[in-house]
Amino acid sequence: MLYNAKSGLLLWLWCVAFISQNGNCDVSESYNPCCSYPCMNFGICNSIGFTAEYSCDCYGTGYFGNNCEIATWRVWIKTRFMPSPLFVKSQLVRWKYIWSIVNNIDFLSRMFMRVLLTSMPMRPKSPEAFNTAASYTTWDGYANKSYYALTMQPVPENCPTPMGIAGPQKLPDPEELVKRVFTRTKFKACPRRTSVLLPYYGQHLTHQALKSYREFPLLTWGQHTIDMSHIYGETLQKQRILRSMVEGKMKMQVLNGEEYPPKLADCPGINMSYPASTPEHIRFALGHPFFALLPNLLYWSTLWLREHNRVCDIMAEVHPNWDDERLFQTARLITLGELLTITGSSYLQQISGNYLRLRYLPELMHDTASQWENHRIPVEFNTLYRWHSAMPDFYTIAGKDYTLKEIIFNAAPLIDHGTAAFTISSSKQIAGRGTGGRNMAKLLHPVALQTIKMNRDAKLPPFNRYREYFGLPRYETFEDLTGETRLAKVLRDLYIDVDAVEFYVGIFVEKIAYRKMFGQTLIEAIGNYAFKIIYSNALASPEYWRESTFGGKVGFDIVRDADLKSFVCRNVEGCPRASFRVEEGIGFISDEDSEVMMYDDLADIRSPSENHEKKHAEL
pLDDT digits (tens, 9 = 90+) for 312-342: 999 999 999 999 999 999 999 999 999 999 9
| DSSP code at position 250 | B
Q: What is the pLDDT of residue 370?
A: 67
Contacts of 13 (CB under 8 A, 6+ apart): none
Q: What is the pLDDT of residue 371?
A: 65
In the annotation, is 31 catalytic? no
CB atoms within 10 A of CB 496: 15
Whether the upstream peptide bond of residue 262 has omega within 30° of 0, thus cis, is no
| DSSP code at position 439 | -
In the annotation, is 207 catalytic? yes
Which of 361, 537, 475, 471 is closest to 120 using CA atoms? 471
Looking at every residue in the chain, the average pLDDT score rounds to: 87
Options 385, 466, 495, 599, the catalytic residue = 385
The three-state (H, E, C) secondary structure of 362-401, written as one string: HHHHCCCCCCCCCCCCEHHHHHHCCCHHHCCCEEEECCEE
Whether the upstream peptide bond of residue 127 has omega within 30° of 0, thus cis, is yes
Whether the upstream peptide bond of residue 121 has omega within 30° of 0, thus cis, is no
d(CA 173, CA 179): 10
Q: Give CA 516 to chain center in angstroms.
A: 15
Q: What is the pLDDT of residue 121?
A: 66
Rg for the chain (alpha carbons), in Å?
A: 25
DSSP result, 268-314: TT------TTS-GGG-B--SSTTTTSSHHHHHHHHHHHHHHHHHHHH
Residues of the chain with confidence (pLDDT) below 70: 1-30, 121-123, 369-374, 585-619
Cross-strand bridge partners of residue 164: 161
Whether the upstream peptide bond of residue 83 has omega within 30° of 0, thus cis, is no
End-to-end distance of the chain based on CA atoms, in angstroms?
53
For 159-214, the pLDDT digits (tens) are: 999 999 999 999 999 999 999 999 998 999 999 999 999 999 999 999 998 899 88
For 47-89, the pLDDT digits (tens) are: 988 788 999 999 989 999 999 999 999 999 988 887 777 787 7
Cross-strand bridge partners of residue 400: 397
d(CA 157, CA 486): 34
d(CA 364, CA 18): 57
What's the pTM? 0.87
Q: What is the pLDDT of residue 474?
A: 94
Phi, psi of 475 (to 5 degrees): -80, 135
CB atoms within 10 A of CB 314: 16
Cross-strand bridge partners of residue 250: 243
d(CA 163, CA 559): 46
Three-class DSSP category at 468: helix
| DSSP code at position 183 | B
- Structural domains for the chain: 1-79 (2.10.25.10), 174-198+378-532+579-618 (1.10.640.10)
CB 174 within 8 A of CB 182: no
CB 455 within 8 A of CB 506: no
Pairing of strands 149-150, 130-131: antiparallel
- Residue type (1 letter), 136: Y
d(CA 376, CA 385): 16
Pairing of strands 70-71, 54-57: unpaired
CB atoms within 10 A of CB 514: 9
Which of 351, 394, 336 is closest to 580 using CA atoms? 351
Q: What is the pLDDT of residue 597?
A: 29
- Residue type (1 letter), 86: L
CB 295 within 8 A of CB 515: no
Mark residue 552 as left, alpha or beta (left: phi above 0; alpha: psi -120 to 50; beta: remaining).
left
Distances (CA, A) of 15 to 12, 160, 356, 383: 5, 9, 52, 34
Pairing of strands 149-150, 258-260: unpaired
CB 163 within 8 A of CB 155: yes
Contacts of 236 (CB under 8 A, 6+ apart): none
Number of C-alpha atoms within 13 angstroms, CB side, residue 514? Answer: 7
d(CA 390, CA 199): 7
Three-class DSSP category at 121: coil
Per-residue burial over 265-292, b if 16 or more Cβ lie within 10 Å, else e, is eebeebebebeeebeeebebbbbbeebb
Taking each continuous run of H as one helix and of E as one strand, the counts in the chain are 27, 10
Indicate the burial class of 392 (C-beta count within 10 angstroms; 0-12, 13-18, 19 or more): buried
Q: What is the pLDDT of residue 169?
A: 94
Options 37, 54, 207, 395, the catalytic residue = 207
d(CA 292, CA 154): 36
Q: What is the pLDDT of residue 514?
A: 85
Cross-strand bridge partners of residue 253: 260
